A and B are shown apart, each in its own frame.
Chain A
């Protein structure tokens, strides 16, 4: 089968895959809210615009916090932060995983052995504990730093999975041919091996994206989130600190959780859909 025809085949199955469509639509809706939501905010972020807590009304779409801040503004800006953390954290983790996995799986020998040991060590250390101890000592924390730390600590399983894939591709004929023709290692990796596992890399990125969002939410909730700005995890942190639970201000703590769950859940479901698109055995007849 020639190359363009095969792509069309994937597109054909992608368009027919309900899981992929549902997941993509949900993620897309939240991306739109994150991009255009701030334009409709009637009150500035984190300003004390109301005297105290207000349930959702025409004035405050999503109510106000116990301190009188507009929940809608916090929500839409926080959603943006969530996507930024996902893209940077998940992206960095995928890149590092690719680097380690490609080099280890392709080179083999002692390079592979050393990389493997490093991967296994970081794999066993609970990422969260590592982040905890790193982040706690930073006085000023931004979203960028948080995302980078998350990326730096969550690459190992991606590296291991990609290494295994690379290993199985490295001994195929077309790679041998490239080697014989004198191609440089890097070029072989990115021109010959990477394209053959594109679907796999993309799925790894989606999982890392979701994972980074959940990790960031946990860190923010514990009080190790960004010291400025707003995120969905921080909203939950503020809500519990402000006794929203005891006082029943549900509009304050329910939306951020729904958004995180919906985005991450949709990403996971998209992933299953993609798996079925790329792997014919899993397609439901």
Chain B
């Protein structure tokens, strides 16, 4: 178990190191002068702000310093939580801008991932090898996983917000309200949360249901299942074993899918103008706020690494092989 965690942590540290290096490298080695590029794109800025930004950018990029020095300084700033200053919300530091967006991402991602994982797996296991269910689940499930998140968001928004007018279409809470711990505010937050949540939930649900259905079919053809069958074990018991075994690949599938899910959440936020990191990214791109963009990149990486680590811990709980230091787990 120690070896398992050491190996994981090593990979994650390396990944973090590579990600930060990429984050540092890209503005410096892309063609063109990054500082001029940034400023010419952000043309609509106040003259005063532009002057301040030019001085700030040149000194913080420190392009006169040797390259290794620039790199070391970048890390130092990072450990002080300094990700630069946002152009979009000048003069707010990037880290503060991201911090105020983060709760909305967690609010969308955590419930949608956990609920869709649970419901999708249960439903997929239920439908596997039952002719009638399978014939409906299979096409629907594949159509759902193939649906781009933002398009489902657009459709849900169009039907439920514009045509039926049941849910609001944009923002995280009513523009008429101020954040407070009151029932009206909480109700407003939930109403605004529902549609983006549903678009994330539905697409992921399809994926889990299909994945579990396919895994169960594999497992039911495995030797141990046939053996149990030959012994006359009840069908329910065999299916329970199959389900437990199928959970492991599903769980490592979750680790692999995290990136796609995060991307889906970003684009869904854009559809509903939901003020999470995805919406920030859109704003950053439209306003050429590269510091903010780089900050968002780092936060996404850190989030995905943490989530991966949590999945590794869950693996230790559900897969005895990892505890005994044998093979297994999501490597």
Question: Which A positions have Cβ atoms within 8 angstroms of B?
Answer: 19, 117, 120-121, 123-130, 132-134, 136-139, 157, 210, 214-215, 217-218, 221-224, 233, 236, 239-240, 245-246, 248, 250, 253-254, 256-257, 260-269, 272, 281-282
Contacts and interface: CB of A to CB of B under 8 A. Distances in A.
Interface in B278-308: 278, 281-282, 285-286, 290, 293-294, 296-297, 300-301, 304-305, 308
Interface stretch (B11-19, B100-108, B234-242, B243-251): B11-19
A269 B294 CA distance: 38
Interface string B222-266: 000000000000000000000000000000000010111011101
Most buried by B among A126, A210, A263: A126
A224 B267 CA distance: 12
17 contacts: A125-B19, A127-B259, A129-B263, A137-B30, A217-B148, A217-B150, A217-B151, A218-B263, A233-B148, A245-B154, A245-B162, A246-B169, A248-B158, A248-B162, A250-B158, A257-B155, A281-B221
A125 B285 contact: no
A90 B155 CA distance: 28
A215 B262 CA distance: 12
A210 B22 contact: no
B154 A129 contact: no
A134 B26 contact: yes
Given A124-B304, A281-B221, A222 B282 contact: yes
Interface residues of B, number: 64
Nearest to B14: A121
A236 B30 contact: no
B23 A133 contact: yes
A19 B154 CA distance: 29
Given A210-B146, A260-B148, A261-B143, A272 B138 contact: yes
Contacts of B266: 128, 218, 222
Complex A-B, nearest 6 residue pairs according to Cβ-Cβ distance, in ascending order: A126-B259, A257-B151, A265-B146, A128-B263, A264-B146, A137-B30
Given A124-B15, A137-B30, A260 B154 contact: no
B260 A120 contact: no
Given A121-B18, A126-B301, A132-B297, A257 B12 contact: no
A117 B169 CA distance: 44
A261 B15 CA distance: 33
B88 interface: no
Interface in B148-165: 148-152, 154-155, 157-158, 162-163
B12 to A, nearest CB: 7
A125 B18 contact: yes
Contacts of B11: 117, 120-121, 124
A218 B148 contact: yes
B154 A257 contact: yes
B320 interface: no
Contacts of B185: none
Contact of A130 (B22, B138, B157, B264): B22
B256 A214 contact: no
B188 interface: no
Given A120-B11, A126-B263, A248-B162, A236 B221 contact: no
Nearest to A130: B22
